[in-house]
Chains A and B, each alone.
Chain A
Amino acid sequence: MSVPAIDINGVWFSYDKTPILEDVTLTLKQGDFLGIIGPNGGGKTTLLKLLLGVLKPDRGTIKILGEAPHNANHRVGYVPQNTDLNITFPISVMEVALMGRLSRSRIGRRYSRKDRSKVKESLKKAGIWNHRHSPIGRLSGGQRQRVFIARALATDPEILLLDEPTASVDPEFEMDLFDFFRELNKQVTIVAITHDVGVISRNVKSVACVNKSLIYHEEGQITAEMIDMAYQCPVDLIAHGIPHRVLPTHTEK
């Protein structure tokens, strides 16, 4: 039995005095593809930042591949929600992606040939290699998303954490993107926050809903309980022609 990719145990977190997460427990095996849904302000991004070690839990423990989050940071790739920060910054696509090769142990050294070939590979995988010399501010939202994905892949991650990866892309690219993630999932554990329940239904292996507490469904089913909690009506879900049923049949209360 290999170590779990993510092991969250009784985690509580609050900003100042406002509780954000209460008693969250989740074990995710390696190779899983977890979709996280939930309302805005429900604590989805906070959960991701706890996994990244940017935030520390008030109570409880988090293990990433058996290690404390800040020790596992070279094994985790992260794609932030906001990709248009610092849009006028004079930096090329290549330079942004190279940031994925940074590490504590190689501070003050030049990027190596291996770093560059790794980044080339990940830029090609993300389909943005042709734009490598463009200033980051010149790209469209979707293209920038690809750059940030390439940056995360350049880390050579065992776990990929995605915060709303489809927030700024058009629906067509969204399909491509999740095809791409599914392919990637053959080697990498993926955790993706998304608003789009339809996306979840077609792609993920398991689902969690976060709204202060967390409900987890191993089979990737969105339960009625989750819908209640998320307070989101999955209207477009039915319209998509889904391959397997994610909503259980409706039962009278």
Chain B
Amino acid sequence: MWEALQFDFMRNALLAGVLVSISCGIIGSLVVVNRIVFISGGIAHAAFGGIGLAFFLGFSPSLGATLFAVGVSIIMGAVSFKSKHRADTIIGVLWAIGMALGIILIDLTPGYHVDLMSYLFGSILTVPGSDIWIIIVLNIGIFLTVLIFYKEFIAMSYDEEFAFIVGIPVKPLYFILLGMTALTVVMTIQVVGLILVIALLTIPPYIAEKYTKSLGGMMVLSSILGIFFTLGGLWLSYSYDLTSGATIILVAGVGFFIFQAIGLLKGRGGITR
């Protein structure tokens, strides 16, 4: 493993893995407690439409994914306010249309064979140095936003109605959360691919929730768990020449079942004090 660190691509991969795990820990915790896991899955898949469009029109796929992810997150947020009872259906529809659109647009792009697998399952080993800088900036932005509005995010997540009553602008705050989710999803697509985004966004917070007493604690522990899963998966994939994204998720999955088993042995889902 250590000799691998002399390669630029490996150092970039480690850095990207750590940074994305931190964002996933912070935003994933909010996604889990606000029960918007399905929306974040929808954002991830619909983002593929943006990747297709970017290839078709010849601009940066990351930019395309970002535009689509943010756009779709706003639409999904509006839908979940407007028609609460059918929101999940509409999210599912957008999810599928985004994906299909991306594939068709790539089909229509002349003479270009895109490596689909790298978007579906991630390509952490090919993260360029310039992207690392973007990820650092996004990480700082997300961290500061959550830090500044921490108590408002807690109130909205725990008791939305009460937050509204005391005058917290719940709707704008919800859209800010969706926007940050979209940006985190785009970053995470680099690491584990759009199909596996949900796992990195939800498994660490789900485990962490049982061992922490505050939302902040949950975010910190999720980030740490995420880093372990990502770096562990990266090391295994390097050692045994496996697909990195899938290996990372399987490591997280093993973690999920181990903690689940510990919880069952301790009774009551494993809430330690």
Q: Is A185 an interface residue (CB 8 A)?
A: no
Stretch at the interface among A93-101, A121-129, A205-213: A93-101
| B165–A99 touching, CB < 8 Å | no
Q: Is B163 an interface residue (CB 8 A)?
A: yes
A residues less than 8 Å from B134 (CB atoms) = none
Q: How far is the CA of A211 from the CA of B170 in the complex (A)?
A: 31
Q: Which residues of chain B from 144 to 188 have a CB within 8 Å of any chain A CB?
A: 148-149, 151-152, 154-155, 157-159, 161-169
Shortest distance between the CB of A106 and any CB in chain B (Å): 9
Size of the chain A interface, CB-CB below 8 angstroms:
34
Q: Is B33 an interface residue (CB 8 A)?
A: yes
| A111–B212 touching, CB < 8 Å | no
CB-contact partner of A89 in B33, B151, B163, under 8 A: B33
Stretch at the interface among A22-30, A78-86, A165-173: A78-86
B residues less than 8 Å from A99 (CB atoms) = 151, 154-155, 158-159, 162-163, 166
Closest to B219 in A: A90
Closest to A107 in B: B152
B interface, over-half SS: helix
Q: Is B89 an interface residue (CB 8 A)?
A: no
Q: How far is the CA of A148 from the CA of B6 in the complex (A)?
A: 57
| B213–A90 touching, CB < 8 Å | yes
Q: Mark contacts of A145-162 with chain B using CB atoms, 8 A cut-off: 1 yes-contact digit, 0 otherwise.
A: 000000100010000000
| B218–A90 touching, CB < 8 Å | yes
A residues less than 8 Å from B159 (CB atoms) = 80, 85-86, 99
Shortest distance between the CB of B83 and any CB in chain A (Å): 13
Q: Is B232 an interface residue (CB 8 A)?
A: no
Q: Is A251 an interface residue (CB 8 A)?
A: no
Closest to B212 in A: A90
Q: Which residues of chain A from 37 to 72 have a CB within 8 Å of any chain B CB?
A: 52-54, 70
Q: Is B214 an interface residue (CB 8 A)?
A: yes
| A74–B214 touching, CB < 8 Å | no
Closest to A111 in B: B151
Q: How far is the CA of A108 from the CA of B209 in the complex (A)?
A: 24
Q: Is A73 an interface residue (CB 8 A)?
A: yes
Shortest distance between the CB of A119 and any CB in chain B (Å): 12
Q: Is B263 an interface residue (CB 8 A)?
A: no
A73-B166, A90-B212, A91-B215 as given contacts; A102 in contact with B158, CB under 8 Å: no
Q: Could you jot down 25 A-B contacts, CB within 8 Å? A: A52-B165, A53-B165, A54-B165, A73-B167, A78-B162, A80-B159, A80-B162, A90-B215, A90-B218, A91-B154, A91-B213, A92-B213, A92-B214, A95-B214, A99-B151, A99-B154, A102-B166, A102-B168, A103-B167, A108-B148, A111-B151, A135-B213, A137-B271, A151-B162, A155-B166
Q: Which 3 A-B pairs have the closest CB atoms?
A: A104-B167, A102-B166, A108-B148
